[in-house]
Amino acid sequence: MVGKVFAVVVILITLVTAYCVIAHVWWMPVDISVHGPKIDHQIEETMLAAGVLFVAGQIVLAAFVFLYGGARNKLRQIPGGAKPLVIFAFVIVGAEVLALSAIGSKAWGAVYFEAPDPGSIHIDVQAGQFAYYFRYPGPDGTFGALHPELINEGTSNFFGLDTDHDPDAKDDIVTAELAIPVNKPILLTLHSKDVGHSFDVRELRVQQDFVPGLVIPIHFTATQTGRYEIVCTQLCGLGHYNMKAYLSVLSQADYDEWLKKQAAMQ
Amino acid sequence: MNQSELMIALSELAVATEHEIQMEESPYGIDKKKLGMWIFIVSDACTFGAFLFAYGYMRIGAPVWGTPFGFSSIMNGMVMTAVLLSSSLTMLAAVRAAQSGTKALAEKWLAVTMILGAVFAALHLREWFKLFGEGWRLFYNPTGGAQQFGATFFSVTGLHLTHVVSGIIALAFITRGYNQGHYDESHVETAGLYWHFVDLVWMFVFPLMYLMNAR
Amino acid sequence: MAQTSVRAVAHHAPPQGFVRKYIFSVDHKVIGIQYLTLSLVAAFVGMALSWAMRVHLAWPDVRIPLLGWLSPAGAPGGVMTPEYYLSLMTMHGTIMAFFVLTAAPFAGFGNFMLPIHVGAADMAFPRLNMSSFWVTFVGFLLACATFFIPDGPPLSGWTAYAPLSAVGPVAGPGQGWGQNLWGLSIAMFCIASLLGALNFIVTTLDLRTKGLKLSRLPLATWGWFIDAWVSLLAFAVLLPTCLLLVLDRLGGTSFFIPGGLVFNDQLQPHSGGSPLLFQHLFWFFGHPEVYIIILPAFGIVSHIMPTFIRKPLVGGWKVITFSEIAVGTLSFVVWGHHMFVSGMSPYMAMVFSVPTLFITIPSIIAVLVWVFSLYGANIRFATPLLYSLGFISLFISGGIGGFFLAQPSTDSYLHATSFVVGHFHFTMGLSAIFATFAGFYYWFPKMFGRMMNEKLGKLHFWITFVGVYCIFMTMQLTGFAGAVRRYSALVDDFMIPLIPANRFMTVAALLTGAAQFIFLYNAIWSRFKGRKAPDNPWGATTLEWDTTSPPPFDNFGGRQLTVYHGPMEYDGEASVMQTSPEASVAGT
Amino acid sequence: MSSNRELTMSSYVGLGVGLMLIVGLEVILTYQHLATRTLLFSLLCLASLEGFVAIMYLMHVKYERRILFWTVFPATLFVLIFLCYFFPDAFRMASMRLLK
């Protein structure tokens, strides 16, 4: 009796879980990046492989518990002993994980092994407790040097730019929102002001930590206009849950307009 | 009398006497204290390893490292190495004497070992105070190079020095017990193993912390 | 080639007086019970913390009873501040991972049972064993003390990523003495674990009774033995990590703190350190730690199952043991999968990903062994077996999540989401807890000489089993919607739709947690009022069932034990004790 | 490996002198103005040689059963070798530094 209840409970849990996954009760938002479909594809492949193992594992467990409760049965051993199990694990699961890592490495490589397009729009990103700031190089196309000792929130010198002496810094445009043109390759250089943070845009399929002391490059191309949330996913202190910014993917014309407006506000 | 009462009675009988029980032989064929010391050494070697790898990591990542040790410091290190190495040999002599049953001789060699250990520690502290005098701190590099030099040097050698000092204390403890007959030659041998390990670590610390930082 | 050696065994006399007998006792059985008691207290503390967090996530404005009294600053009027939420989360992780999951199945049951399993009178180094426990105890007190100091408990998570955890109070609340105490507490835990592991290894190798070849070791002992090796090497690396962290905080060094950091417009005096070094050192320990938690669970479940299915495991001792060894070994080369998006070299991601995927092979072999051993069995559904079956189901459910997190491409989406939280709660948290419960119900008669109540035990099982699925499967699946972990409030546009799911999890967590009081009641009631246990209530074969319940001070009353069989001599109703010279019934 | 013919005490003294000579060689190498990488490599090789001799003779492993050697060495080297996985990030730290 206990065994039969156990079997039914396990099967029910398995079915509910499978339903939630198949019906996409909680699922990824639609992808808006060029590299994203590769990642989505990989997640689906993995879900298929892992899902089959999950359902099969739970069902076999439930079936055996259902069938072999009590002392009435004649004891039997699985034919062939452990050998077929070990062979199954090595051959089937081994092949599966090899296939996954072979295909998966391409999805990873598309983001991290390829150099950014030389024509990318370069935007500098700084994370601090608990806000992001973005910096566009301005008309001269060069970023001014960073002087952390000059950082002053009161005068809105978030990056520590020496605008008095550094000609490169004079025309840098600093914003609290990230705007990018659609269908253009973008290069972000991430650096942190204080502790570790992260740059996570779910729709872009981009998540990358800021490492204090290092500049971490990341590149992508967005394919749909819209407004998306950038959230921090690396524990950074009390305001962690509330640390966010917005990513606006604009048409080229809107982007130029926006940039002009921002430059005027500096 | 039921079974459990019988067993309790038996167990009380058993603890009163020393009796012989047949056991599986240890696969290593050595005393359990010695095996325990070996296992400790494996884990302690990993701890030192992690410290030294952190040092390597800091050093690779630093744009300017700076190499502060002049020839006199290196010579001091040479002398320290010689002292520690001789203490290993005297320890060996102590173990041999203990094994051959010449207790007084073993105690004498143990005393020499402790003295050599103390000399090593004294030389080491002299080096430290010299560096303090030059302005080195855990967090400060007076030559303007990477501030990690002080941090890595003092923490790695400090950990080693802690091992030396606790080794001296352990040796003193064991010598006393050996003298009073609580401990036997197997305790001396196990302590010796630890002492050699401290020497072994120094064989890596000296080239990596001193020689790699020679001017 | 049965080599035996005759050794004179000098027993230490049974201790006299309350302090020697129950507090500073060198008896491994008392120490085992001390560890289990410590873990039980820690588990209820950790659970209370998780209750408070879950209630706050689901209903942020609810006043939580007692919380306002515990910390007037952290939870004014019982409504917690964001930083206090993070502190509770940090301490929940620390207490659960170290003082419950590492301590109970390994140090707790291992201490009580391992010497008995090998037929010894005590551990190899009883006094060392006692000091291991008391160092752990002081470590636990230090961790708990953080709640009562003015600086408040740390909030950097159980991973304590630098530089947040390393720069000191400038980084915000919770970065004062709470974080220092945390570092010291974990350093003490490391030392205790190292000494404990050393003791386990030497006891298993050197104190086996006549005839107990390694091939005849009980499977739980194999689990603890392999686990001792993994702990020995992994904690050896966490210890320097904690020391360096404390040095950064108190000594002003910059191991983990780079230059150019600015807090409140003030440039910090540090330079040249690397946060990634901390992550590497921490995860070099941290990933094996997951297996330190789960390997004793593997052992306990493999030990318990044959008794209740009345047949040996498929493949005998070899297949399960070799898969445990493979898991333990591989656990040291996969830590980088925690760091795929952390700024680590992307090429290293591939180096870590492949072994991480391959570690599924020995894990799946272990699961297949358990599941296919049920084939053609005569299952007796006692509570210990139910918990073992629950363990298998939970381990499968969590294990499949590993496929996603082992690959950098899929992890780059799922990293730091509640998918990860659900995954590790299934694989290491709940699996280890279920195995601990299985062990507790199984060994309780031996430890205290009384049976536990089966009805309450089963009730406890059903509520817990269904409850944890409701909590953590929901948690795992909401991760696909990108739900970020470690958020003290759900305020982002995409997080708000997840509030109903979070309320569901909270209700399930409150009910599941409440069910643990059934267990507590059952344990305490049975301890004093339970049915008297016979020496071998389950019809098992290993050495602990070959002595009285509870065992006498030197375990076997000074008898000469000779082992003739492996631990799995079951054939339906028939079974043969390991020490019985009768013929084998299972052909192992 | 396992043999009962232990060295005599005077041979041990000889061994100690030999180890000291290796240390001397290390010091001499230090002052040859080698490239840092070459110096590190040769110092590590010499130190490993010294360590090996110390473990085998001073710490007596040569005269124990083989299994002790095969327990102690693989376990320690396993950890030390895989700790090397850190270093790609150390080089990254040098090349991707925020403040030059």
Q: Alpha-carbon distance C230 to C264, whole Å? A: 43
- Under the banding of pLDDT at 50, 70 and 90, the label for residue B13 is very low
Cross-chain Cβ contact D27/B50 below 8 Å? no
Q: According to the model, what pLDDT value does residue C65 have?
A: 86
Burial label for C347, CB within 10 Å (0-12, 13-18, 19+), is: exposed
H or E element in which residue B214 lies: none
**Mean pLDDT on B123-149:** 91
Cross-chain Cβ contact D97/A214 below 8 Å? yes
Any idea what the CATH number is for the domain that residue B88 is in? 1.20.120.80
* A121-265 CATH: 2.60.40.420
Flag whether residue D96 sits within 8 Å of chain A, measured between CB atoms: yes
Enumerate the domain spans of chain A. Answer: 2-112, 121-265
Q: Are A210 and A196 in contact (CB under 8 A)?
A: yes
Cross-chain Cβ contact D85/C229 below 8 Å? no
- Residue-range definition of the domain harbouring residue D75: 9-95
State the count of interchain CB pairs (< 8 A) between A and C: 326
Flag whether residue C264 sits within 8 Å of chain B, measured between CB atoms: no
Q: What percent of chain C has pLDDT over 90?
A: 90
Number of domains present in the structure of chain C: 1
Flag whether residue D35 sits within 8 Å of chain B, measured between CB atoms: no
- In C222-363, beta strands by DSSP E: 262-263, 266-267
Flag whether residue D53 sits within 8 Å of chain B, measured between CB atoms: no
Nearest to C259 by CA among B64, B90, B20: B64
Number of domains present in the structure of chain D: 1
Judging contacts by C-beta atoms under 8 Å, the chain A residues touching residue D92 are 214
Residues of B with CB under 8 A from a CB of D: 27-30, 38, 41-42, 45-46, 49-50, 53, 56-58, 60-63, 74, 78, 81-82, 85-86, 88-89, 92-93, 96, 193, 196-197, 199-200, 203-204, 206-208, 211-212, 214
What region, left, alpha or beta, does residue C398 occupy, with left being phi > 0 and alpha being psi -120 to 50 degrees? alpha
Q: Are C416 and A198 in contact (CB under 8 A)?
A: yes
Cross-chain Cβ contact C210/B23 below 8 Å? yes
Q: Alpha-carbon distance D64 to D75, whole Å? A: 17
Residue of C nearest to A96 (CA): C357
Question: Interface pTM (ipTM) of the complex?
Answer: 0.94
Q: Angle, to 10 degrees, between the axis of helix C360-373 and the axis of helix C316-330?
A: 150
State the count of interchain CB pairs (< 8 A) between B and C: 183
CA dist C169 → B147, C165, C175, C201, C375 (Å): 22, 9, 5, 42, 59
- Which positions of chain A have pLDDT values less than 50? none
Q: Alpha-carbon distance C302 to C568, whole Å? A: 10
Per-residue pLDDT of C84-110, as tens digits, reads 999 999 999 999 999 999 999 999 999
Strands A185-192 and A121-128: parallel
Residues 6+ apart with CB under 8 A from C224: C106, C109, C110, C114, C200, C204, C296, C299
Q: Alpha-carbon distance C239 to C289, whole Å? A: 13
Residues 6+ apart with CB under 8 A from D92: A214, C276, C345
Q: Angle, to 10 degrees, between the axis of helix C126-145 and the axis of helix C28-58?
A: 20
Judging contacts by C-beta atoms under 8 Å, the chain C residues touching residue B21 are 6-7, 9, 209-210, 558, 560
**Candidates A241, A246, A247, partner chain C, best to mutate (most C CBs within 10 A):** A241
Q: What DSSP line would sit under C199-224, residue for residue?
A: HHHHHHHH-PBBT--GGGS-HHHHHH
* Rg of chain B in Å (alpha carbons): 23
Any idea what the CATH number is for the domain that residue C501 is in? 1.20.210.10
Judging contacts by C-beta atoms under 8 Å, the chain C residues touching residue B32 are 124-125, 202, 206-207
Query: How much is the mean pLDDT over chain D?
Result: 90
What's the token pair of residue A156?
Answer: 């809105």
The structure's pTM equals 0.95
Q: According to the model, what pLDDT value does residue B203 have?
A: 96
CA dist A15 → A11, A55, C2 (Å): 6, 8, 53
Judging contacts by C-beta atoms under 8 Å, the chain D residues touching residue B63 are 94, 97, 100
The tokens 């950064």 sit on which residue? C248
Q: According to the model, what pLDDT value does residue C5 have?
A: 62
Would you call C13 helix, strand, or coil by DSSP?
Answer: coil
Q: According to the model, what pLDDT value does residue C12 have?
A: 58
- Residue-range definition of the domain harbouring residue C208: 30-257+272-575
Chains that touch C (3 or more CB pairs under 8 A): A, B, D
Q: Which amino acid is at D15?
A: L
Asked if residue C3 is part of any domain, the answer here is no
**Candidates C206, C243, C285, C561, partner chain B, best to mutate (most B CBs within 10 A):** C206
Asked if residue B90 is part of any domain, the answer here is yes
Q: According to the model, what pLDDT value does residue D3 have?
A: 45
H or E element in which residue C195 lies: helix C177-206
H or E element in which residue A228 lies: strand A226-231
Asked if residue B2 is part of any domain, the answer here is no
Cross-chain Cβ contact A214/D96 below 8 Å? yes
Cross-chain Cβ contact D91/B78 below 8 Å? no
Whether the predicted pLDDT of C11 surpasses 60: no
Phi, psi angles (nearest 5°) of residue C535: -65, -35
Asked if residue D1 is part of any domain, the answer here is no
Asked if residue C237 is part of any domain, the answer here is yes
Query: How much is the mean pLDDT over chain A?
Result: 94
Q: Alpha-carbon distance A54 to D9, whole Å? A: 65
Per-residue pLDDT of B49-70, as tens digits, reads 999 999 999 999 998 888 889 9
Per-residue pLDDT of C228-250, as tens digits, reads 999 999 999 999 999 999 999 99
Q: Alpha-carbon distance C9 to C327, whole Å? A: 36
Q: According to the model, what pLDDT value does residue B100 have?
A: 92
Spacing of C-alpha C485 from chain mean position:
21
Asked if residue C485 is part of any domain, the answer here is yes
- Residue-range definition of the domain harbouring residue B195: 32-213
Asked if residue D2 is part of any domain, the answer here is no
Q: According to the model, what pLDDT value does residue C2 have?
A: 44
Cα angle value C410/C413/C417 (rounded, 5°): 115
Q: How many CA atoms lie within 13 A of B140 on its CB side?
A: 8
- Under the banding of pLDDT at 50, 70 and 90, the label for residue C3 is low
Q: What percent of chain C has pLDDT over 70?
A: 97
What's the token pair of residue B34?
Answer: 């010695």
Asked if residue B129 is part of any domain, the answer here is yes
Strands B19-24 and A244-250: unpaired
Cross-chain Cβ contact C259/D86 below 8 Å? no
Whether the predicted pLDDT of C66 surpasses 60: yes
Lowest mean pLDDT among C69-83, C85-99, C511-525: C69-83
Strands A173-175 and A244-250: unpaired
Q: According to the model, what pLDDT value does residue B50 have?
A: 96
Q: Are C322 and D65 in contact (CB under 8 A)?
A: no
Number of domains present in the structure of chain B: 1
Q: What percent of chain A has pLDDT over 70?
A: 99
Asked if residue D4 is part of any domain, the answer here is no
- Under the banding of pLDDT at 50, 70 and 90, the label for residue B5 is low
Q: According to the model, what pLDDT value does residue B172 have?
A: 97
Task: Write the DSSP symbol of residue A237.
Answer: S
